[in-house]
Homo-oligomer: A and B are copies of this chain.
Amino acid sequence: MTYTLTSHQYGKAENHIVRIYRDSPRHEIRDLTVTTAMRGAFEDAYLTGDQSKVLPTDTQKNTAFVYAKQHGGGTVEDYGVALAKHFVDDVEPIHGARVDVVVDDWERVVVDGEEHDHTWVRRGPENRTVTVTVDGKGEEQTVHVGGGIRNLVILKSTGSEFHDFLTDGFTTLEETKDRILATAIDATWGFAATPPDWDVAYAAVRAAVVGTFATLHSLALQQTLWHIGGAVLDAVPEIESISLVAPNKHHFLYDFSRYDTDQENAGEVFHADDRPYGLIEATVTR
């Protein structure tokens, strides 16, 4: 064949690593789902099946687990950078590595009014995410760290309008001055510089997202996303850009006028529909 392998990468997806910190009786837990992806001089593996330059995904898995001990003492971002740099720095054919981490949150339980030393319950559905990309060797190496939040399901029961939109022959939607606005925010952001504290930066982003969604009187989910993006850039000066993907999770007011009832439905009872849903996307850059 005379075709071209125009892009390629390979790695190990969804290593589910639970790290317990037990240096004191009060344990800590970190629950990471880690995906590694390698780019480099692997053309022969594709073209001829020659594996001599391929670090098996099984080895990547082993490394991800060992590094959870060896480089697990700092932040998740530190761990991701150490792991990605290892692949690029220590394995000759690897020219670039990407490490994606999804963090599952555990909440320490309270028993008889006191936080328990070594028991937690899972708290979701939202996840924090971290992405590290290392490209190149030696002096030319670049390291990029990105953050994210996934599936932040949020709803406001008022303070949302939608009207004066464009109409055509297929329009049936009625205008509204008061509706439920609900979404499940997926956001990712990139840093132009390292913030003083990764966890503080994450908390500031989340607070900006939630606070803006709550307090902005919304004329459309588009407008809400734009203001969320701006608030995040305001809150964390090291972030250079944020991308937002947000379904409009429709809550339809249930029409009581069709029934033999004296009940009125003044913005009180809604059918939360599954599909289809609006899908709004925006990237806001400093």
Add 6 more A-B contacts to A5-B284, A7-B243, A16-B272 (CB < 8 A).
Answer: A11-B279, A16-B273, A17-B271, A54-B165, A56-B173, A122-B126
Q: Whose C-beta in chain B lies nearest to the C-beta of A218?
A: B49
CB contact list, A23-70 vs B, under 8 A = 27, 29, 31, 35, 37, 42, 45-59, 61-63, 65-66, 68-70
One of B4, B10, B68, B274 near A279 (C-beta < 8 A):
B10
**Beta-carbon contact of A272 and B219 below 8 Å:** no
Contact of A70 among B55, B167, B263, B282 (CB under 8 A): B263
Contact between chains at B27 and A158 (CB < 8 Å): yes
Question: Are B162 and A51 interface neighbours, CB within 8 A?
Answer: yes
A166 touches B54 (CB 8 A): yes
Bound-state Cα–Cα, A265 to B70, Å? 10
A-B contact pairs, 25 of them (CB 8 A): A1-B227, A3-B286, A6-B284, A7-B281, A13-B275, A18-B272, A22-B266, A29-B157, A49-B223, A51-B219, A55-B165, A55-B166, A69-B256, A90-B168, A91-B166, A91-B168, A106-B155, A111-B214, A111-B215, A116-B214, A118-B158, A122-B126, A170-B259, A170-B261, A274-B274
Which A residues from 229 to 280 make CB contacts under 8 A with B? 229-230, 233-234, 241, 243, 247-248, 251, 254, 256, 258-261, 263-280
Known contacts A213-B119, A274-B274, A220 near B4 by CB under 8 Å: no
Quick one: given A10-B279, A165-B51, are A268 and B20 in contact (CB under 8 Å)?
yes
Name the residue of chain B whose CB is nearest to the CB of A71: B263
Contacts of A162 in B (CB 8 A): 51, 56
Convert A134-175 into 0s and 1s, putting 1 for each residue whose CB lies closer than 8 angstroms to a CB of B: 000000000000000000111111110011111111111100
Please determine whether B111 and A211 come into contact, CB atoms closer than 8 angstroms: yes
Instruction: List the B side residues contacting A27 at CB < 8 Å.
Output: 157-158
**Chain B residues with CB below 8 A from A248, complex form:** 57
- List the 9 closest pairs (A to B, CB-CB), nearest first: A49-B219, A169-B260, A122-B153, A119-B214, A46-B226, A1-B230, A51-B165, A49-B223, A58-B173
Total contacting residues, chain A, CB less than 8 A: 142
Q: Which residues of B contact A215 (CB under 8 A)?
A: 111, 116
Tell me if A194 is interfacial: C-beta within 8 Å of chain B: no
User: In the assembly, what is the distance between CA of A66 and CA of B256, in Å?
Assistant: 7
Contact between chains at B214 and A259 (CB < 8 Å): no
A47 to chain B, nearest CB (A): 6
Q: How far is the CB of A282 from chain B (nearest CB, A)?
A: 5
Query: Which residues on the B side are within 8 Å of A154 (C-beta)?
Result: 109, 119-122
CB-defined contacts of A61 to chain B, threshold 8 Å: 276
